[in-house]
Structure 1
């Protein structure tokens, strides 16, 4: 890709990564991703906001050919997918100054060995004049690292948000056109990266509320020419109550747990409860994370193995604990061979979840009619709790 004009004196730079399917050796990328940087040419000074992941450096540096000078490099976030090419840019423009928060300065020196002489640490709310364009720096901590900030271009009312409002999408289109596709990708991104910091993100959204924002240019994914689209989505994901939804991640070894899960799903649906069912042996973990954003209840389905939960079920509990969804209720269903401490083990793995435990349903061997009756009772209990809370 060549540099692409957004508005007069403002350009997208970076790389569209069509082929990657895993981010940080952890996060699935079904639609690839992009690494976005932005060049702003003022009447007196030129600034570059962020860089790209080091494997994309060659394409990015080629985009800078013909750019005579860069006065400032702005680092929104010290993680390498945004900062990893800073040293190459500084080698090309040795007179440039690197602008960051004080916390980012320390991280960039630690992670990239950038000499301290290059840095200018800025305060929250500080501005920088490029002549006819003014940049304002706004601290947005824990979106999703402690040093993160966004940059607001006052004259053009553009918010350069880095990971905030991002989405992993590879596309030839610079601006959002397919809102359905972007909504799903942005929700996946929120679930996997931002959800653990929901309460802090609420405060950061409030901090941005006074600004007149006409465009949001994130560090991943397409640019939002209609900012209300993604701002409203973040309000929903951070401020909204859970929905009348039960998420059931499960694994079954000899069909008994599967039979229990299928019966419970049918009973919940019969009571007017939405269900998202995930077979952990084959599921896309990103899809599970997305479902957790809205889940009022999680029911883990697991057989007992070596006196505890199946490793896949333990991983699902670990994931939920790490992501900290706004879930209110939790239960466990499953089969065991002779005994164990499955429920106790899973309960001990979710200290971050402020949930009420709904009595689990476990059975020895294959489920009986008595077990199916207990699952019906569990569905009734969950449906009543959702109704009492007013979940819709």
Structure 2
């Protein structure tokens, strides 16, 4: 794909990766992704904002054919899917300086072996003039690494947000025209990457409020030429109370845990609580992460294996602990054959979650009438908690 005009003197460069299905050997990418770089041609100087993943370096370098001079290569974030092609760009434009935050400089030197003399570091709020265009750098730490910053193009009122407001989605559209599709991709991106840093993201959203932002150009996904809705979505995901929702990841080996799960789901629905159910043997972990953004309660359905929790349930519990959702309550249901320490082990896996643990329900073999009554009591307790806090 060729360079595409975003505004006068501002161009999208980069690569659309239609085929990538896994990020960091961890995160599913059902819709592919894109690596966005931006060329800003001022009257006196030219800046390239970020580059592309090294696997797509050839695409970016072809797009730079015919660009006689680049004065600055701005690195908003040191992770290699953004910075990885900087060495090739510097080889083509040896006079260019790498502009980054003070924390990014040693990272880029370590990751890419860029010599120290190539760098210019900028402070929070510092500006860089390109002649008739001015970039202002705003530190946004932990969105989602400690060195990250964004750049605001003052004359055009464009925010180059790097991973902030990004989405893993491959598309030929330059702008976010399909809001429903982009909303889902952006929520998945927030859930998998940004959610552990909700409180810091809330602070960074406040930091951006004084700026008149007419366009957001992230480093993954489409450009937001009507940015209000994605900023409102981030505000909701990061700061709003959880919803009247129970997320129930489960795995069942011989059917007993599944019977318990189905009984609890019915009891919760009867009490006006929405439930999202995830069979961990087949589920998309990205979908699970998205549901955790809104959940007030998490219930893990788990059979006991070798005296402990089934590994898939343990993984889901570790995932929730790492993502740090805003859920307020947690419980465990499941079955066992001859004993074990499932509850104790899972409880020890969630030190990051600030949750109240509600009475677990474990049964031996198939659930009895008394076990079903305990599940009804758990559903009633969850409903009471949600009503007490006015979750909607």
After superposition, give the CA deviation of every residue in 1:132-165 in whole Å (9 maximum; x if it has no partner): 0000000000000000000000000000000000
Measured in 1, the distance between the counterparts of 2:388 and 2:343 equals 25
State the Cα distance separating 1:223 from its structure 2 match. 0.1
Match of 1:125 in 2: 125
Runs of at least 5 residues in structure 2 that lack an aligned partner in the other structure: none
Gaps of 5+ in 1: none
Aligned-pair distance for 1:239? Answer: 1.0
- The CA distance in 2 between the partners of 1:341 and 1:387, in whole Å, is 32
- Equivalent residue, structure 1, for 2:390: 390
* 1:308-356 deviation per Cα after TM superposition (whole angstroms, max 9, x unaligned): 1000000001000000000100000000011111011000000000000
Report SS of the residue matched to 2:35.
strand
- Counterpart CA distance in 2 for 1:16 and 1:310 is 38
TM superposition outliers: structure 1 runs of 4+ over 4 Å: none
CA distance in 2, matches of 1:252, 1:111: 43
Q: Which residue number in structure 2 is paired with residue 286 of structure 1? A: 286
Work out the CA distance in 2 between the residues paired with 1:203 and 1:106. Answer: 25
Q: Report how far residue 370 of structure 1 moved.
A: 1.2
**What residue is the counterpart of 1:146 in the other structure?**
146
TM-score by length of 2: 1.00
1:3 aligns with 3
| Aligned counterpart, 1:168 | 168
1:67-106 to structure 2, matched below 5 A, reads: 67-106=67-106
CA apart distance, 1:229 = 1.1
| Superimposed CA distance per residue, residues 244-264 of structure 1 (whole angstroms, 9 cap, x where no aligned partner) | 000000000000000000110
**Helix, strand or coil at the partner of 1:102:** coil
The 5 A counterparts of 1:160-239 are 160-239=160-239
Q: 2 CA distance for matches of 1:332 and 1:141?
A: 35
CA separation in 2, counterparts of 1:156 and 1:168?
A: 25
Query: Aligned residue for 2:45?
Result: 45
Q: Which structure 2 residues correspond to residues 319-330 of structure 1 after superposition, within 5 A?
A: 319-330=319-330
Partner Cα separation in structure 1 for residue 173 and residue 335 of structure 2 = 50
Look up the match of 1:240: 240
Count of aligned pairs between the two proteins: 392
CA-atom RMSD in angstroms: 0.4
Are 2:310 and 1:299 aligned? no
TM-score between the two structures when normalised by the length of structure 1: 1.00
Partner of residue 375, structure 2: 375
Deviation digits for residues 330-388 of structure 1 (CA, Å, limit 9, x no counterpart): 00000001111101100000000000000000000011111111111110110010000
Q: Is the counterpart of residue 318 in structure 1 residue 315 in structure 2?
A: no
In the alignment, the residues of structure 2 paired with residue 206 and residue 385 of structure 1 have an alpha-carbon distance, to the nearest angstrom, of 31
